[in-house]
Amino acid sequence: MLHADIDLRQGAFHLDVALRAPHGVTAIFGPSGSGKSTLLAALAGLRPGGGTISLDGQKLDPRPHRRGIGLVFQDGLLFPHMSVGANLLYAWRRADPSRRHAIEDVAGFFDIATLLDRSVVNLSGGERARVALARALVAAPRLLLLDEPFSALDGQRRRSFIDILGRMHDAFGLSMLIVTHLIDDAAALATHLVGLRDGRVVAEGAFAQTVSSPAFRTLLDARDTGAALSTTALVRRGGGGPAATWVRADHVLLATRKPTAISARNILRGSIGGITTEESESLLVELHTADGVLFARLTQEAVDALKLRVGMPVWALVKAHAL
């Protein structure tokens, strides 16, 4: 369990955060300028200053190289004057001998054993991300911080990277703290969620409860309004991927009768839990399905035409390409 009490000023910006992150995966979510990067740097010890941070009841050393926590940067930041293997060895040599993992094991896990002799300059984006993760893992940190880890990846590569992170968490029992401005990434991995705005925590708690809380929902742009749905409830292209998927309200259609002869593969049965009018004059329909809550964004005309009202049974359709 991580306890952080941080009070840090940087020009006009004031980061004043008290947060806890239990074992597992915590996502720190916030729009740009909310102080995510500053918070991450403070946790890592790279931004000296106000606050106390403790991990499992033990106060952390103020110096970053003595904290025993790992940090995976957005762009990997592999050392360009070393080979892939030398990058891993760099971490191994400086790690606590009683904790560190053997390089061969880690390289095998991340499927980079064949890259060890290569220069880091010619790696692909996906390889680079895996090597950066492997380098951090070799030191067996007590907590791993990840800064927007998927932003350089897209599509299938992003999915397989999320898959690796999930498996890594299970295999090495490593607690992770992921900083992101993409709700999809938070939904994919996090069990605990912290919402940040203007340097303050606006919502914090178990992911499922926090993500649907009114305070947290103010952090999402209209475009991102939606809900996390267990991936097992969905039919999607390709295997693997995250445990939960963020389904946007804009990607959900409603039908009052069970649709047949339709290309959409994801059809969930549910009932209407509420209808709220949004600022943009559109209506947000909350659905209760057996797999959890979903939202659909509809126009007033559509709601009138279908005579939608609370309690009514409906079918929700989710386009697979939106997942």
Partner 1 sequence: MLSPTDLQVLATTLIVAAKALLILPLAIAVAFALSRPRLPGRLAWDGLVHLPVILPPILIGFLLLQLLGRQGVFGGWINLAFTQNGAALATAVMIFPLLVRSVRLSFDAIDPRLLDAAAMLGAGPWDRFFSIALPLAWPGILAGAVTAFAAAMGEFGAVITFAANIPGETQTLPLAIYQVLQQPGGEVEAWRLALLSLSLAFAGLIAAELLQRWARRRV
On whether the CB atoms of residues 278 and 224 are closer than 8 A, the answer is no
**Cβ at position 85, least distance to partner 1 in Å:** 15
**Cβ at position 201, least distance to partner 1 in Å:** 24
Site for partner 1 in 126-155 (CB under 8 A): 135-136, 139
Closer residue to partner 1, CB minimum distance, 45 or 226: 45
**H/E stretch holding 317:** strand 313-318
Report if residue 321 touches partner 1, rule: CB under 8 A. no
Q: Which listed residue (24, 49, 51, 64) binds partner 1 by CB under 8 A?
A: 64
With CA atoms as reference, report the closest residue to 133 among 171, 97, 98.
171
Closer residue to partner 1, CB minimum distance, 11 or 155: 11
**Cβ at position 57, least distance to partner 1 in Å:** 22
Report if residue 172 touches partner 1, rule: CB under 8 A. no
On whether the CB atoms of residues 45 and 64 are closer than 8 A, the answer is yes
Q: Which listed residue (14, 77, 113, 302) binds partner 1 by CB under 8 A?
A: 77
Q: Tokens for 227?
A: 């809900």
On whether the CB atoms of residues 183 and 220 are closer than 8 A, the answer is yes
With CA atoms as reference, report the closest residue to 73 among 165, 148, 168, 180.
148
**Cβ at position 74, least distance to partner 1 in Å:** 10
Residue reference for tokens 């390289």? 107
Report if residue 65 touches partner 1, rule: CB under 8 A. yes
Q: Tokens for 41?
A: 């740097």
Report if residue 94 touches partner 1, rule: CB under 8 A. yes
Q: Tokens for 293?
A: 């809550």
Report if residue 222 touches partner 1, rule: CB under 8 A. no
Closer residue to partner 1, CB minimum distance, 6 or 140: 140
Query: Which part of the chain contacts partner 1 (CB under 8 A), choosing from 90-98, 194-202, 208-216, 221-229?
Result: 90-98
Q: How many Å apart are CA 32 and CA 197, to the nearest integer?
A: 9
Closer residue to partner 1, CB minimum distance, 74 or 212: 74
Report if residue 89 touches partner 1, rule: CB under 8 A. no
Which residues share a beta bridge with 201? 196
Closer residue to partner 1, CB minimum distance, 100 or 297: 100
102: left (phi over 0), alpha (psi -120 to 50) or beta: beta
DSSP 3-state of 98: coil
Residue reference for tokens 């029992």? 173
**Cβ at position 258, least distance to partner 1 in Å:** 54
Q: How many Å apart are CA 226 and CA 248, to the nearest integer?
A: 4
- What is the binding site for partner 1 (CB under 8 A)? 44-46, 63-67, 69-71, 73, 77, 79-81, 90-91, 94-95, 135-136, 139
